[in-house]
C-alpha cells in the first residue's frame, strides 16, 4: 500500500553535513576513570540519591530513585566507588551546577544482577513502572519520561503510533547509525510500545536522505513478521519535530491546547524504543547512549558513551582540530554552546559538534527588522515570529503570549532565514523564561498573601478568645468575692503537717507519672519530617544525635538524684 503523505507548513533546508559521521560504525567508548552522573536528567522531579560516599556500586545499580510519577530513575553506568554526591557542572546552557553522583570506576564493569521480563504477561502498569525504574526517557533530546507517554487517553482510541527516526537536525547521525546497526532491537522495542498503547497502525518515519536506515528497518520489520509501516518522509527541517512528523504521517494537526494522545496519536524516538527493549528484555537500564561527534574533528563518527563521561574525554575521542573554538551540544539549529567541558554526557546529549570560525562564522551584526515576513513563511507552527520578536524585545510579555509564544518549539527556522540576522529564537527563549519566572513569583505572592491573611485572622481570633477568657475570669472572681465572707473561715488547725506531706507526695507522684506519660508519648510518636532527607541531612542528624546522647543520659539520672535528695530532706524534717 502506498502511504499517502501530508505536508507541514514552512521549514527550511539547511546543508545536512551528515556524510562525515556515517562512514564508521558505532564504536564503544572506553570507560573513563571518573564518571559524573547528574541525578536530574529528565523532565519532571529530581530523583533522590540512593547511594552515599564510599559505597561500592555495580553497573546498572540504581543510584537515584524517581521521586514521583513524572520522573525517571538514574543508574550507575559502570562498577566502581562513589567518591562524592555533590553539586557538579551540568550540561546546561547556564553552566550552573546540579546534584551529581561522582563514581571512581574500577574497570571491572561488573553488572548488577539482571532480570528479563516478559511484558506480555505483566500488567501494563507494572511495565510502565519497570520503564520508569530503568530510566527510559525520550532520547531524541527532550528527555520526557517515556512511561508517562505510554498511558493511552481514556476517551480517545489510539489510532497511530508514530516512531520518529527522521533526525532532521544537520550534522546529527546517531539515530541513523542506530537504525542501520540495531534495527531489530528498535522494532522489538516498538512492539512493546504497541502492546501497551494498542494503536491501529504503527508508522516509522525516516527522512529520505537515509536510505540505508530505511532499508535496514524494513528488513527488520519483515524478519520479525510485524505489520509496521516504514515510511520515507521528505527531507525538510524540522520534519523530526513530534508535531511535524505526526502531521506528515497522519495528516493530524495537534492543536496547542491538546496533547497528541487526545488526538489518538503518540510519538517516540527510535533510540527510546531501543532502550525500552533493552530494559524489558535484558533488564538493562539506560546507562549509555549513542552520541555523534562531528564538526571540526579528525575522526567524526558515532560512539556509544557511558552517561556521566566528562565532555573533554568524549571530545578527545574524535580529536578536535587546532582551530576549534567552541563546542555545541545538540544540533546547530537547536543546540547550545557548552559553557564548560567538564560537564558530563547526559541522556539528552545526542550530538557534540566542534565548531571553528570557518565552520560556524561569527554571526553578522543584528540589523533592524524590515518586516519582510520570511520568518512567518519559514515557521513550521505558523506563528508570526516578527510579531513575537517585537513583543519579546520590548518585554511586552502579555502580548507575546497572546501571539502564542508558547507554541514555539525553538526550532530556529526563523533565525535561519532572517535577512537581518536577528537571533529571533534567543529573544523567544528570553521571553519564555521571563514569563515562567513571573508566574513563579506571582504564585509565591499569592501564597504569601493567603498566609498573611490567615495569620491576621488567627491573631484576631486569639485576641478575641483571650478577651473572652479574661472577662469570664473576672466575672467568676466577682462572683466568688461575694459569697466568700458568708462562708465559715477555713484553716482547721488540727494535724496539718502529715496531710501536707501526703499532699506533696501525691503531687510529686502525679508529676512523675505525667512526665513518664509524656516521655512514653514522645517515644511512641514517630518523627514525621524525616522522610526524603538527603544524605547530608541524615548525616547531620546522626551527628547531632550522637552529641545529644550523653546529655540525655545525664538528664535521666539527675531527676532520680533530685528525688532521693528531697526524700532525704523530708526525713530530716521528720
Partner 1 sequence: MLTAILIMALGAIVLGAALGYASIKFKVEGNPLVEKIEAILPQTQCGQCGYPGCKPYAEAIAEGEADINKCPPGGMEGVRKLADLLGREVKPLDAEEKPKQLAIIDEQLCIGCTLCIQACPVDAIVGAAKQMHTVVESLCTGCELCVKPCPVECIRMEPIAEKIDNWKWKYPVFEIKPARRAA
C-alpha cell of 272? 527510546
CB 369 to partner 1: min, Å? 13
Provide the sign of the torsion angle of the four alpha carbons 131, 132, 138, 139, taken in this order: negative
Helices 174-181 and 183-197 pack at an angle, to 10 degrees, of 100
Minimal CA–CA distance to 146: which of 256, 50, 278, 321? 278
Interaction between residue 339 and partner 1 (CB under 8 A): no
Residue 20 burial (C-beta neighbours within 10 Å; 0-12, 13-18, 19+): middle
Single out the segment in contact with partner 1 by CB under 8 A; choices: 69-77, 261-269, 420-428, 477-485: 420-428
Report the nearest approach of partner 1 to the CB of residue 397 (Å). 11
Which residues of 138-264 form beta strands (DSSP E)? 160-164, 201-207, 229-233
Query: Looking at 426, 555, 558, 567, which residue binds partner 1 (CB under 8 A)?
Result: 426
Among 200, 451, 508, 538, binds partner 1 (CB under 8 A): 451
Q: How far apart are CA 49 and CA 285, in angstroms?
A: 16
Question: Using CA of residue 333, residue 335, residue 339, residue 342, what is the dihedral sign?
Answer: negative
| Bridge partners (DSSP) listed for residue 65 | 48
Tell me if 449 contacts partner 1 by CB under 8 A: yes
Please select the residue that binds partner 1; options are 225, 365, 489, 490, rule is CB under 8 A.
365
The closest alpha carbon to 181, from 318, 302, 60, belongs to 302
515 binds partner 1 (CB under 8 A): no
| Long-range pairs, 506-514, Cβ under 8 A, ≥24 | 508/563, 508/566, 512/563
From the list 19, 223, 316, 445, which residue makes contact with partner 1 (rule: CB under 8 A)?
Answer: 445
Q: Select from 371, 435, 375 the least CA-distant residue to 400.
A: 435
Among 94, 116, 396, 555, binds partner 1 (CB under 8 A): 94
E strand or H helix that includes residue 265:
strand 265-269
CB 143 within 8 A of CB 185: no
Burial class (CB in 10 A: 0-12, 13-18, 19+), 97: middle
Contact flag: residue 45 with partner 1 (CB under 8 A) = no
Task: Say whether residue 18 binds partner 1 (CB under 8 A).
Answer: no
Q: What span, in angstroms and rounded, lies between the C-alpha atoms of 411 and 378?
A: 10
Instruction: Decide: is 342 part of the binding site for partner 1 (CB under 8 A).
Output: no
Taking the complex as a whole, the smallest distance from the CB of residue 307 to partner 1 amounts, in Å, to 18
Minimum CB separation from partner 1 for residue 476, in Å?
28
Residue with smaller CB distance to partner 1, 278 or 432: 432
Asked whether position 441 contacts partner 1 by CB under 8 A, the answer is yes
Taking CB under 8 A as the rule, does residue 457 contact partner 1?
no
Report the residue number, 109 or 434, with the smaller CB distance to partner 1.
434
Provide, rounded to whole angstroms, the least separation between the CB of residue 431 and partner 1: 9
Q: Compute the least distance from the CB of residue 452 to partner 1, in Å.
A: 5
Using the minimum distance from each CB to partner 1, give the nearer residue, 37 or 293: 37
Q: Which of 304, 360, 430, 535 binds partner 1 (CB under 8 A)?
A: 430
Applying CB under 8 A, which of residues 19, 24, 28, 96 lies at the interface with partner 1?
A: 96
Residue 467, classified by CB atoms within 10 Å of its CB into exposed (0-12), middle (13-18) or buried (19+), is exposed
Residue 405 DSSP one-character state: G
Is 518 a binding residue for partner 1 by CB under 8 A? The answer is no
Interaction between residue 444 and partner 1 (CB under 8 A): yes
| Rounded least distance, CB 433 to partner 1, Å | 4
Report if residue 210 touches partner 1, rule: CB under 8 A: no
Query: Looking at beta carbons only, is 90 or 273 nearer to partner 1?
Result: 90
Task: Point out which span in 67-75, 228-236, 442-450, 465-473 binds partner 1 (CB under 8 A).
Answer: 442-450
How far, in Å, CA of 515 to CA of 562, rounded?
15
Q: Round to whole Å and give the CA distance between 288 and 28.
A: 10
52 binds partner 1 (CB under 8 A): no
Least Å distance, CB 426 to partner 1, is 4
Question: Pick from 327, 336, 173, 168: which is nearest to 244 by CA?
Answer: 168
Which residues of this protein are in contact with partner 1, per CB under 8 A?
40, 90, 92-94, 96-98, 365-366, 423, 426-427, 429-430, 432-434, 437, 440-441, 444-449, 451-452, 454-455
Amino acid at each position: 500500500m502506498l502511504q499517502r503523505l501530508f505536508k507541514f507548513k514552512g521549514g527550511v533546508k539547511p546543508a545536512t553535513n551528515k556524510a562525515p559521521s556515517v562512514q564508521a560504525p558505532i564504536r564503544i567508548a572506553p570507560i573513563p576513570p571518573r564518571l559524573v552522573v547528574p541525578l536530574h536528567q529528565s523532565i519532571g522531579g529530581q530523583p533522590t540519591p540512593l547511594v552515599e560516599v564510599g559505597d561500592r556500586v555495580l553497573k546498572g545499580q540504581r543510584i537515584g530513585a524517581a521521586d514521583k510519577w513524572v520522573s525517571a530513575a538514574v543508574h550507575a553506568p559502570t562498577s566502581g566507588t562513589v567518591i562524592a554526591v555533590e553539586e557538579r557542572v551540568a550540561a546546561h546552557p547556564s553552566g550552573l551546577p546540579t546534584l551529581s553522583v561522582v563514581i571512581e570506576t574500577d574497570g571491572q564493569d561488573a553488572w548488577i544482577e539482571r532480570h528479563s521480563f516478559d511484558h506480555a504477561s505483566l500488567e501494563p502498569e507494572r511495565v510502565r513502572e519497570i520503564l520508569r525504574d530503568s530510566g527510559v526517557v525520550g532520547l531524541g533530546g527532550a528527555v520526557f519520561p517515556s512511561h508517562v507517554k505510554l498511558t493511552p487517553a481514556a476517551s480517545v482510541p489510539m489510532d497511530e503510533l508514530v516512531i520518529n527516526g527522521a533526525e532532521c537536525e544537520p550534522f546529527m547521525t546517531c539515530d541513523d547509525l542506530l537504525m542501520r546497526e540495531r534495527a531489530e532491537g528498535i522494532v522489538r522495542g516498538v512492539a512493546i510500545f504497541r502492546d501497551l498503547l494498542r494503536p491501529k497502525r504503527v508508522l516509522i518515519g525516516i527522512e529520505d536522505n537515509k536510505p540505508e536506515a530505511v532499508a535496514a528497518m524494513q528488513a527488520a520489520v519483515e524478519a520479525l513478521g510485524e505489520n509496521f509501516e516504514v515510511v520515507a518522509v521528505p527531507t525538510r527541517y524540522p520534519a523530526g519535530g513530534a508535531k511535524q512528523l505526526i502531521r506528515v504521517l497522519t495528516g493530524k494537526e495537534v492543536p496547542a491546547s491538546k496533547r497528541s494522545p487526545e488526538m489518538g496519536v503518540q510519538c517516540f524516538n527510535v533510540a527510546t524504543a531501543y532502550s525500552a527493549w533493552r530494559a524489558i528484555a535484558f533488564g538493562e537500564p539506560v546507562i549509555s547512549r549513542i552520541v555523534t561527534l562531528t564538526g571540526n574533528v579528525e575522526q567524526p563518527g558515532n560512539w556509544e558513551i557511558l552517561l556521566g563521561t566528562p565532555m573533554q574525554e568524549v571530545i578527545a575521542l574524535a580529536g578536535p582540530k587546532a582551530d576549534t573554538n567552541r563546542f555545541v551540544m545538540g544540533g546547530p539549529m537547536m543546540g547550545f554552546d557548552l559553557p564548560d567541558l567538564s560537564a558530563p554526557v547526559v541522556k539528552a546529549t545526542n550530538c557534540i559538534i566542534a565548531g571553528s570560525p570557518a565552520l560556524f562564522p561569527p554571526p553578522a551584526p543584528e540589523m533592524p527588522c524590515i518586516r519582510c515576513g520570511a520568518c512567518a513563511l519559514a515557521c513550521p507552527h505558523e506563528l508570526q515570529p516578527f510579531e513575537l520578536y517585537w513583543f519579546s524585545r520590548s518585554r511586552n510579555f502579555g502580548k507575546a503570549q497572546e501571539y502564542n509564544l508558547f507554541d514555539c518549539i525553538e526550532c530556529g527556522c526563523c533565525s535561519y532565514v532572517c535577512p537581518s540576522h536577528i537571533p529571533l529564537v534567543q529573544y523567544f527563549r528570553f521571553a519564555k523564561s521571563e514569563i515562567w519566572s513571573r508566574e513563579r513569583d506571582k504564585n509565591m505572592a499569592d501564597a504569601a498573601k493567603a498566609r498573611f491573611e490567615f495569620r491576621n485572622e488567627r491573631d484576631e481570633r486569639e485576641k478575641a478568645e483571650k478577651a473572652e477568657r479574661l472577662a469570664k475570669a473576672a466575672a467568676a472572681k466577682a462572683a466568688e468575692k461575694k459569697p466568700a465572707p458568708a462562708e465559715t473561715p477555713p484553716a482547721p488547725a488540727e494535724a496539718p503537717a502529715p496531710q501536707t506531706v501526703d499532699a506533696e507526695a501525691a503531687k510529686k507522684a502525679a508529676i512523675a507519672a505525667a512526665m513518664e506519660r509524656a516521655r512514653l508519648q514522645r517515644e511512641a510518636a514517630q518523627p514525621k519530617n524525616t522522610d526524603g532527607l538527603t544524605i547530608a541531612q541524615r548525616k547531620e542528624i546522626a551527628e547531632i544525635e550522637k552529641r545529644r546522647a550523653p546529655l540525655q543520659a545525664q538528664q535521666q539520672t539527675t531527676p532520680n538524684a533530685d528525688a532521693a535528695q528531697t526524700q532525704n530532706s523530708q526525713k530530716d524534717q521528720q
